[in-house]
Chain A
Amino acid sequence: MTTGDWACSASGLVKRFGDRRVVDGIDIAVPRGAIYGVLGPNGAGKTTTLRMMLGIIEPDGGTRQLLDAEHPRDASDRVGYLPEERGLYPAMKAREAIAFMGALRGLDWRTGRRRAGVLLERAGLGHAADSKIRKLSKGMAQLVQLLGAVVHEPDLLVLDEPFSGLDPVNQERLEALITGERDRGATVIFSTHVMAHAERLCDRLAIIAGGKRRFEGTVDDARGTLPARVHYVPHHVGAGLAAVLPPDARADGDGWRFQLPAEGIEQLLVRLIQAGHGISGLSIERPGLHEAFVRIVGRDALEAAA
Chain B
Amino acid sequence: MSDTSRNRLRRSIRQTLTIARRDFIATVFTPIFLLFLFAPMIFGVIGGTVGGMSAASMAGGGDRSRIVAIVAADQARTVADADRRLRAVFRDSQEPPPLTTLSPAANPAAQARAAFSAKDYDAAAVLYGPLDRPTILFGGRSDRTADYLATMAAETLAAERLGGRMPAVAATKTRFVPPHPAAGPSNRPNPSAFFAVFGIFFLTLFLSGQVVGTMAEERSNKVVEVLAAAVPLESVFLGKLLGMFGVAILFVGFWGTVVGNLGLLLPGDMGRELASITPAVGAAPFSLLFAAYFTTAYLLLGSVFLGVGAQASTMREIQLLSLPITFVQMSMFGLAAAAAGRPGSWIASMAEVFPLSSPFAMAGRAANRAELWPHVAAIAWQLLWVAVFITVGARLFRRGVLQSGSARPWWRRRRVA
Q: Is the CB of A71 within 8 A of B225?
A: no
Is A12 interfacial (CB-CB < 8 Å)?
no
A56 touches B18 (CB 8 A): no
Question: At the interface, yes or no: A73 with Cβ under 8 Å from chain B?
Answer: yes
- Residue among A51, A56, A91, A148 making CB contact with B26, cutoff 8 Å: A91
Q: Pick 13 A–B contacts, CB within 8 A, sort by A.
A: A57-B402, A58-B405, A59-B405, A76-B230, A81-B226, A83-B229, A88-B221, A89-B221, A91-B30, A100-B18, A104-B18, A106-B11, A106-B14
Q: Which of B73-81, B333-341, B406-414 contacts A (4 or more CB under 8 A)?
A: B406-414
- At the interface, yes or no: B47 with Cβ under 8 Å from chain A? no
B222 in complex: contacting residue of A17, A54, A85, A104, CB < 8 Å = A85
Q: B8, B225, B230, B231 — which one has the most chain A CB atoms within 10 A of its CB?
A: B230
Q: Which of B11, B217, B405, B410 contacts A77 (CB 8 A)?
A: B11
Query: Is there contact, CB below 8 Å, between B407 and A58?
Result: yes
Residues in chain A near residue B30, CB distance under 8 A: 91
Closest to B406 in A: A58
Q: Is B22 an interface residue (CB 8 A)?
A: yes
**Known pairs A87-B226, A105-B230 / 20 extra A-B pairs, C-beta < 8 Å:** A51-B229, A58-B406, A58-B407, A58-B408, A70-B417, A71-B407, A76-B231, A79-B229, A83-B226, A87-B222, A87-B223, A89-B26, A91-B26, A92-B26, A100-B18, A103-B18, A104-B15, A104-B18, A104-B227, A106-B11
Asked whether A203 is an interface residue with its Cβ less than 8 Å from the other chain, the reply is no
- A-B pairs, 5 with minimum CB distance: A57-B404, A87-B222, A104-B230, A83-B225, A58-B405
CB of A68 within 8 Å of the partner chain? no
CB of A94 within 8 A of chain B? no
* Chain A neighbourhood of B2, CB < 8 A: none
Q: Which of chain A's residues has its CB closest to B235's CB?
A: A104
Q: Does B224 contact A (CB under 8 A)?
A: yes
**Shortest Cβ distance from residue A226 to the other chain B in the assembled complex, whole angstroms:** 37
Contact with A along B214-255 (1 / 0, CB 8 A): 000110011111111111100000000000000000000000
Residues of B within 8 A of A100 (CB): 18, 22
B403 at the A interface (CB under 8 A) = yes
Q: How far is the CB of A231 from chain B (nearest CB, A)?
A: 47
A-contact 0/1 string along B251-275, CB 8 Å cutoff: 0000000000000000000000000
For residue A246, CB closer than 8 A to chain B, the reply is: no
Q: Does residue A185 face the partner (Cβ distance < 8 Å to B)?
A: no
* A34-78 near B? 1/0 per residue, CB < 8 Å: 000000000000000001001111111000000000110110110
When the two chains form the complex, which single residue of B221, B226, B405 contacts A101, counting CB atoms closer than 8 Å? B226
Nearest chain A CB to B152 CB, angstrom units? 67
A74 CB contacts on chain B under 8 angstroms: 8
How many residues belonging to A are interface residues under a CB distance threshold of 8 Å? 34
Contact yes or no, B223 A88, CB < 8 A: yes
A87 contact set on B, CB distance < 8 A: 218, 221-226
Inter-chain CA distance A105–B18, complex, in Å, is 10
Q: Is the CB of A90 within 8 A of B231?
A: no
B contact residues around A295 at 8 Å (CB): none
Query: A16-30 CB contact bits vs B (8 Å, 1 = yes)?
Result: 010000000000000
B 1-38 to A, binary, CB cutoff 8 A, 1 in contact else 0: 00000001001001100110010001000100000000
Question: Does A86 count as interface, using CB distance less than 8 angstroms?
Answer: yes
CA distance in complex: A55, B19 (Å): 19
Contact in complex: B230, A70 (CB < 8 Å): no
Distance in Å from the Cβ of B174 to the closest Cβ of chain A? 59
Task: Assess the B232–A56 pair: CB atoms within 8 A.
Answer: no
Determine the distance from Cα of A120 to Cα of B122 in the docked complex, in whole angstroms: 79
* Chain B residues touching A, range: 20 to 34
Query: Please, how many angstroms separate the alpha-carbon atoms of A166 and B412 in the complex?
Result: 43
Complex contact A57–B405 (CB within 8 A) = yes
Report chain B residues within 8 Å CB of A86: 222
B229 touches A56 (CB 8 A): yes
| Residue in chain A with minimal CB distance to B230 | A104
| Chain A residues near B417 (CB-CB < 8 A) | 70
Interface residues of A in 106-149 (CB under 8 A from B): 106, 145, 148
If the complex has contacts A87-B221, A104-B15, are A81 and B230 also in contact, measured as CB distance less than 8 A? yes
Q: Convert B373-417 into 0s and 1s, putting 1 for each residue whose CB lies closer than 8 angstroms to a CB of A.
A: 000000000000000000000000010001111111010010001
Contacts of A81 in B (CB 8 A): 226, 229-230
Q: Cβ of B224 and Cβ of A76 under 8 Å apart?
A: no
| Residue of B226, B403, B407, B408 most packed against chain A (CB within 10 A) | B226
CB contacts (< 8 Å) of B218 on chain A: these are 87
Q: How far is the CB of B21 from chain A (nearest CB, A)?
A: 8
B18 to A: closest C-beta gap in Å? 5
B116 to chain A, nearest CB (A): 65
Docked complex Cα distance between A16 and B404 (Å): 9
CB–CB B26/A101 < 8 A: no
Most buried by A among B8, B14, B225: B225
Q: How far is the CB of A16 from chain B (nearest CB, A)?
A: 10
Complex: chain B residue closest to A101, CB-CB: B226
Question: In the complex, A69→B232 CA distance in Å?
Answer: 15
A285 CB to nearest B CB, Å? 42
Residues of A within 8 A of B406 (CB): 58
Q: How far is the CB of B34 from chain A (nearest CB, A)?
A: 15
Q: How close is A69's CB to chain B, nearest CB, in angstroms? A: 10
Contact A54 B229 (CB under 8 A): yes
Contacts of B228 on A, CB cut-off 8 Å?
56
